[in-house]
Amino acid sequence: MFKFAALAALVSIIPLINAQSPIYGQCGGINWTGPKTCVAGTTCTYLNDYYSQCLPGSSSTPASSTKPPVSSTTAKPVSSSTKPVSTSTMPGGSPTTSSAPASTPTVAAGNPFSGYTIQINPVYQAEVVAALPAISDAATKASAAKVENIPTFFWLDAVARIPTLDTYMAAAAAAGGKRLVQIVIYDLPNRDCHAKASNGEFTIANNGAALYKTAYIDAIVAIIKKYPSVRVVAVIEPDSLANLVTNLSDPNCAAAQSVYLSSVTYAMQQLTTVGVVQYLDAGHAGWLGWPANLTPAAQLFASLYQSAGKPAGVRGLATNVANYNALVAASPDPITQGNPNYDEIHYINALSPALQASGFPDHFIVDQSRSGQQNLRQQWGDWCNIKGAGFGTRPTLNTGSALIDSIVWVKPGGESDGTSNTSAARYDSTCSLPDATVPAPEAGTWFQAFFQTLVTAANPPL
């Protein structure tokens, strides 16, 4: 499924007052008609065929990771020419292994969120700030403004986003005190093997397994190592392991299986060397929460964890990432019929004993960013820009369950799940179902109307 945290086409929805895009603004992509240059101090950086963005830094970025704004009308989701090979920040391609320097933080024991202030994700904050002028209703605008200070995760869904992690971490370090940065690791080769169109930048056929390690994980680790005072919490690879539990009948998933496992193993081990607290993605109640899937899921997580040498950074699992389920539903949504685990708390309570039996740490974080309203979907599997969705419970350590470390907002609400344009190359029919909000823009780009509904339907209200 599409759940890109790709960034937004902000300037397309506000009147252009000058010819340059602001920091984190769009500056290129197929059919982009806005400004193609960026304000001083930022560089227009190619992220994918649909999106180039003004990222901090001057144009000293290696040419291999920067492409001019795309004006071609060829909408190929993945092209080998777009593969960034940004190795300049890495020590000769040889990853850090067993001997971490003394300054490297050890992985925190206990709830990693306890006592820490979450540094606001600057990219999402910029998106929300840019969305405000287009909101005419004053009360809605005031509510929307509050969203800019709610912590969301920063999705590292392309190598080109890695320099922004440096900016984000530097701000956290400069703020001082106990600061926490939240990231999503999301760039596996042949990513999203069960989706109708793959949108990852790495393919197994094009050396993706090696590039995932050297150009992606090693580059992230090198940045995190620079800021030992900042704690990092990561969600690891949404959908990938759940797809290996339920979707191996899909040849794309079967073909990706061994590379998914070796890549996630590498990520767990290397992120542990720099103290990153990790939650592997575990789908949601309507996926791995079906009783028949619980034990196979626990066994997959546990075998991966054990064969990786039980990396100390692995704290548990993340559920409901970019989905719409309630943590605690007031009553079962009719679409969940047949599954006793009809909400995330039932799923977590049912999975926990299976994890303990298999030998995997049973701590959780749960995404509630778009779970404010319930009983909206026609089928549980529907995931695209659900009509009437509202922002949900704010991130909190007051979770009501000893198994849950924190309620979090992993999905940056307002970024589209996928386009409803039937002629677009990445069209997925899920995005024009009767319960999807239409017309919807390309996955990852800003969806102003959807954002405004999230604001007005927020529960609890903003």
Ligand X SMILES: *[C@@H]1O[C@H](CO)[C@@H](O)[C@H](O)[C@H]1NC(C)=O
Q: How far apart are CA 14 and CA 238, in angstroms?
A: 32
Catalytic status, residue 428:
no
The CB-of-335 to ligand X minimum distance in angstroms stands at 12
Does 446 carry a binding-site annotation? no
DSSP, residue by residue, 53-104 = EEEES-TTS-GGG--PPP------S--GGG-----TTSSTT----S---TTS
- Which residue's CB is nearer to ligand X, number 20 or number 420? 420
Q: How far apart are CA 264 and CA 348, in angstroms?
A: 22
- Which residue's CB is nearer to ligand X, number 216 or number 287? 287
The CB-of-287 to ligand X minimum distance in angstroms stands at 5
Catalytic status, residue 435:
no
- Return the amino acid letter for 161: R
The CB-of-334 to ligand X minimum distance in angstroms stands at 17
How buried is residue 109: exposed, middle or buried, by Cβ count under 10 Å (0-12/13-18/19+)? Answer: exposed
The CB-of-411 to ligand X minimum distance in angstroms stands at 15
Does 383 carry a binding-site annotation? yes
**Both structure tokens of 447:** 């969806």
Does 201 carry a binding-site annotation? no
The CB-of-272 to ligand X minimum distance in angstroms stands at 28
C-alpha triplet 72, 73, 74: angle, nearest 5°:
90
E strands, 167-242, in order: 179-185, 231-236
Q: How far apart are CA 363 and CA 93, in angstroms?
A: 34
Q: How far apart are CA 38 and CA 15, in angstroms?
A: 16
Q: State whether the Cα torsion 50-54-58-61 is positive or negative.
A: negative
Beta carbons within 10 angstroms of residue 114's beta carbon: 11
- Which residue's CB is nearer to ligand X, number 178 or number 196? 196
Does 290 carry a binding-site annotation? no
The CB-of-286 to ligand X minimum distance in angstroms stands at 7
Helices of type H across 333-406: 344-358
**Residues ≥6 apart with Cβ < 8 Å to 307:** 265
- Which residue's CB is nearer to ligand X, number 168 or number 427? 427
The CB-of-62 to ligand X minimum distance in angstroms stands at 27
The CB-of-289 to ligand X minimum distance in angstroms stands at 11
**Both structure tokens of 312:** 């100390």
- Which residue's CB is nearer to ligand X, number 211 or number 424? 424
> Which is catalytic among the residues 192, 367, 417, 428?
417
Does 157 carry a binding-site annotation? yes
**Binding interface with ligand X (CB under 6 A):** 1, 30-31, 73, 75, 194, 246-247, 249, 287, 381, 421, 423-424
- Which residue's CB is nearer to ligand X, number 46 or number 287? 287
**Both structure tokens of 230:** 């900042």
Does 323 carry a binding-site annotation? yes
Q: How far apart are CA 125 and CA 78, in angstroms?
A: 28
Query: 350: alpha, beta or left, given left = phi > 0 and alpha = psi -120 to 50?
Result: alpha
> Which is catalytic among the residues 187, 192, 239, 428?
239
Q: How far apart are CA 184 and CA 90, in angstroms?
A: 20
Q: Produce one character per residue of 28-63: b if its CB has 16 or more CB atoms within 10 Å, e if not.
A: bbbebebbbebeeebbbbbbbbbbbbbbbeeeebee
- Which residue's CB is nearer to ligand X, number 415 or number 428? 428
Q: How far apart are CA 462 and CA 459, in angstroms?
A: 7
- Which residue's CB is nearer to ligand X, number 110 or number 291? 291
Alpha carbon separation from 343 to 7, 288, 369 (Å, rounded): 29, 12, 15
**Both structure tokens of 322:** 């970019």
Catalytic residue list: 239, 417
Annotated binding site: 155, 157, 284, 287, 323, 383, 411, 415
Annotated binding site for substrate: 155, 157, 284, 287, 323, 383, 411, 415
